[in-house]
Structure 1
Amino acid sequence: MAQLKPNILLIYTGGTIGMIKDFETGALRNFNFNDLLKHIPELKLLDCEIDTTSFETPIDSSNMNPIYWADLVTIIEDAYDNFDGFVVLHGSDTMSYTASALSFMLENLSKPVVFTGSQLPIGDLRTDAKENLITSIQIAALREKGQPKISEVCLYFEYKLYRANRTTKINAEHFEAFASLNYPALAESGVHLSVNDEALYKPNRRKKLKVHKRMESEIMLVKMFPGICETTLEHIFSYDGLKGVVLETYGSGNLTNENWFIDLLKKLIKKGVPVINVTQCSGGGVNMGLYETSTQLKRIGVISGKDCTTEAALAKLMYLLGQQISTSSFKTIFETSLRGEMQ
């Protein structure tokens, strides 16, 4: 009996990839995604079935937020049993944030969820949209021994497939817009599609998909810089509704060890507000205690983000706060890799 073709659901949230240029006015506008094949007839050549759906009102990715994340995982949850893989078309500016969030919201995922987009609209003569979309669908349709080859949330852009929660956008101008500096690419597209089997996430396929939709957004990201002001931070940290803080620190997790700053952190942690330490460097990770300026952080209970990206650390914090993890176990759970987001 012939094996059925993989069935892929294409989900459009918004962004440049779903726009075409009006050649009379030069303005970009969204096109009807049901007419996708008219713009990319090459999709007919793919050895899979493709269905499409879209946010009722597509959005610019700058407006992305946890409410839309919940909408997106609901689409995947409702369609999960009827499709072999999912491709999410998303604006590139916040793609790493959304893709990282979904990696935590979709627990026990055993099918591919591939995020992609483009730097130029689909109707542009030099667009990168066609290659990104075609290869993302091919990746989502990959099978091995009757099972999906890829079983995690990932991001494909400019010939490389990355683990989503390891990515960050590094360039607003070049087609190679994303990087994963602390984890190797999952696959590379050239003459052949080469998959790095050792780097793939290995799910427990016996566990059923569990979808989490509550993400706590009353959190703050604070980037350290020389001259950061005591009164400003004191004002921010005194907000009663503050549920968590991510500190973007220098190098391997260092920041000022002036008494006023350490005291502010102590007060936060004493109130049960988790404080996460991630490096503002593009690559590498946090190693608290390596230098004297980070020794006190470790002592007062600051949580190490290890080699997490800022995007993944924020998403993980929102997710764990949404799960209402107890204060006593929060640090241990955060410092444990849940979806391959840290070493």
Structure 2
Amino acid sequence: MTKKPKILLVYTGGTIGMVKDYNTNALKAFDFSQITNKIPELQQLNCAITTVSFEEPIDSSNMNTKYYVMIAEMIAKNYEDFDGFVVLTGSDTMSYVSSAISFMFENLQKPVIFTGSQLPIGDLRTDAKENLITSIQIAASTENDEPVVKEVGLYFEYKLYRANRTTKINAEQFEAFASMNYPPLAESGVHLLFNKHLLLEPDKKQNKIIFRKKLVDDIVVLKLFPGITKKVVETIVNIPNLRGIILETYGSGNAPTEKWFVKLLENAIEKGIYIVNVTQCAGGSVILGLYETSSELKRIGIINGKDITTETAIVKMMYLLGENLTKEEFKHYFETPLRGEISLN
């Protein structure tokens, strides 16, 4: 008889962990050690669930690199004792934090599933129960005594996505997330169906997990818009101690060809600031050099973000800046899929 998978449920904060006090109508944090009382259906799952919570739940708007490390440490500390992990955070910044965790663990061999909800767990019409039950079921899913998922996923409203491919697209609908450039890893209907050919397979030769927690956050996002002034760009590229810029360009990576604009970026690159080109479009990819408006960027050595999301570009840059790489190595690793975050072609 195969043993029951052991799942660690990590609550950091967010809407999912709120219950209404019906006397005052105020929302208060839910005690996750009582989770099976609130959701008795969890007892039907073939797994043993242990819960751990942040001492003080944090709102996802206050999420930062310190909390990324706290979440990663909770997983790292319990990695050998559990078969899968479900992390509950606020949905507003979930794409950022789940992407960060995907880079902080190299050679991950177990599922780490992020989920949350648009309505509190105690709400009559909540989406929290389904999201939580299915996330735990995914984390506990095995085949031939091995977990089906061996990567960081994000589950929301009947779909499991690769976490570092997601963007929050809606603050009103239950279907809050999209993964424009990569299909869902699993879909939950009458049956829970995994698209196994899309799942990451860790390198069998590298079976030791490496936990990295050095993140450098001296970076900025520069979103282009028609009419952006020299003064604005100049101010941004000259931020003291700046290490990296995520440049949100138009379409397939296009930007103004005005001499002052290109020169400011070129000077920044010469000073050792890394600049990554990502598209403002929800879907699609940067193709440097496709048009004249991006060939100048290619010439000055801007890094091609390809079809990476802005959220993932930010955390990948934080991760790579902490690795003491040469200029050539940084460019190579940024343009190479490390955790399935960008497409090869």
Q: TM-score range by the shorter chain?
A: over 0.9
User: Match of 1:252, SS?
Assistant: coil
Q: CA separation in 1, counterparts of 2:328 and 2:9? A: 41
Q: CA separation in 2, counterparts of 1:98 and 1:148? A: 22
Offset of residue 51 of structure 1: 0.2
Query: Unmatched 5+ residue regions in structure 2?
Result: none
Residues 1:338 and 2:338 aligned together: yes
Match of 2:196 in 1: 197
Match of 2:5 in 1: 6
Residues 186 and 193, structure 2, Cα contact 8 Å, conserved in 1: yes
Q: CA separation in 1, counterparts of 2:258 and 2:201? A: 44
Q: CA separation in 2, counterparts of 1:109 and 1:139? A: 16
Go from structure 1 to structure 2 and tell me whether the alpha carbon gap of 1:49 and 1:205 turns closer, same or farther (over 3 Å shift).
farther
Offset of residue 48 of structure 1: 0.4
Match of 2:175 in 1: 176
Q: Once the two structures are superposed, what CA deviation does each residue of 1:86-106 show, in whole Å capped at 9, x if it has no partner?
A: 000010000000000011001
Offset of residue 324 of structure 1: 1.6
Match of 1:247 in 2: 247
Q: Once the two structures are superposed, what CA deviation does each residue of 1:269-305 show, in whole Å capped at 9, x if it has no partner?
A: 0011110000010000100111110010001000000
Amino acid at match of 1:272: G
Q: CA separation in 2, counterparts of 1:306 and 1:259? A: 24
Offset of residue 233 of structure 1: 1.6
Offset of residue 24 of structure 1: 2.1
Match of 1:50 in 2: 49
Amino acid at match of 1:216: V
Match of 2:261 in 1: 261
Aligned ranges for residues 294-313 of structure 1 at < 5 Å? 294-313=294-313
Q: CA separation in 2, counterparts of 1:263 and 1:284? A: 27
Offset of residue 205 of structure 1: 3.8
Q: Once the two structures are superposed, what CA deviation does each residue of 1:287-339 show, in whole Å capped at 9, x if it has no partner?
A: 01111100100010000000000011111100000112111321111101100
Match of 1:234 in 2: 234
Residues 60 and 94, structure 2, Cα contact 8 Å, conserved in 1: yes
User: Match of 2:91, SS?
Assistant: coil
User: Match of 2:251, SS?
Assistant: coil
Amino acid at match of 1:222: L
User: Match of 2:225, SS?
Assistant: coil
Q: CA separation in 1, counterparts of 2:135 and 2:31? A: 20
Residues 1:164 and 2:163 aligned together: yes
Offset of residue 6 of structure 1: 0.3
Aligned ranges for residues 133-172 of structure 1 at < 5 Å? 133-172=132-171
Amino acid at match of 2:323: Q
Match of 1:17 in 2: 16
Q: CA separation in 2, counterparts of 1:229 and 1:54? A: 46
Residues 98 and 163, structure 2, Cα contact 8 Å, conserved in 1: yes
Offset of residue 22 of structure 1: 1.5
Offset of residue 237 of structure 1: 1.1
Match of 2:95 in 1: 96
Residues 110 and 204, structure 1, Cα contact 8 Å, conserved in 2: no
Residues 1:212 and 2:212 aligned together: yes
User: Match of 1:94, SS?
Assistant: helix
Amino acid at match of 2:219: I
Q: CA separation in 1, counterparts of 2:180 and 2:127? A: 22
Q: Name the TM-score, length of structure 1 as normaliser.
A: 0.98
Match of 1:59 in 2: 58
Q: CA separation in 1, counterparts of 2:155 and 2:136? A: 10
Q: CA separation in 2, counterparts of 1:46 and 1:197? A: 22
Amino acid at match of 2:187: E
Q: Which runs of 4+ in 1 moved over 6 A?
A: none
User: Match of 1:155, SS?
Assistant: strand
Match of 2:185 in 1: 186
Amino acid at match of 1:265: L
Q: CA separation in 2, counterparts of 1:26 and 1:324? A: 51
Q: Once the two structures are superposed, what CA deviation does each residue of 1:158-212 show, in whole Å capped at 9, x if it has no partner?
A: 0000000000000000000000010010000000001001100011244211001
State the Cα RMSD in Å: 0.8
Match of 1:129 in 2: 128
Residues 1:83 and 2:77 aligned together: no
Q: CA separation in 1, counterparts of 2:294 and 2:133? A: 46
User: Match of 1:312, SS?
Assistant: helix
Residues 110 and 205, structure 1, Cα contact 8 Å, conserved in 2: no
Amino acid at match of 2:299: R
Q: CA separation in 2, counterparts of 1:305 and 1:67? A: 25
Q: CA separation in 1, counterparts of 2:203 and 2:94? A: 26
Q: Once the two structures are superposed, what CA deviation does each residue of 1:120-174 show, in whole Å capped at 9, x if it has no partner?
A: 0000000000000000000000101111100000000000000000000000000
Offset of residue 240 of structure 1: 2.9
Once the two structures are aligned, what percentage of the paired residues are identical?
61
Amino acid at match of 1:291: Y
Match of 2:225 in 1: 225
How many residues matched? 342
Residues 150 and 200, structure 1, Cα contact 8 Å, conserved in 2: yes
Residues 288 and 298, structure 2, Cα contact 8 Å, conserved in 1: yes
Residues 2 and 145, structure 2, Cα contact 8 Å, conserved in 1: no
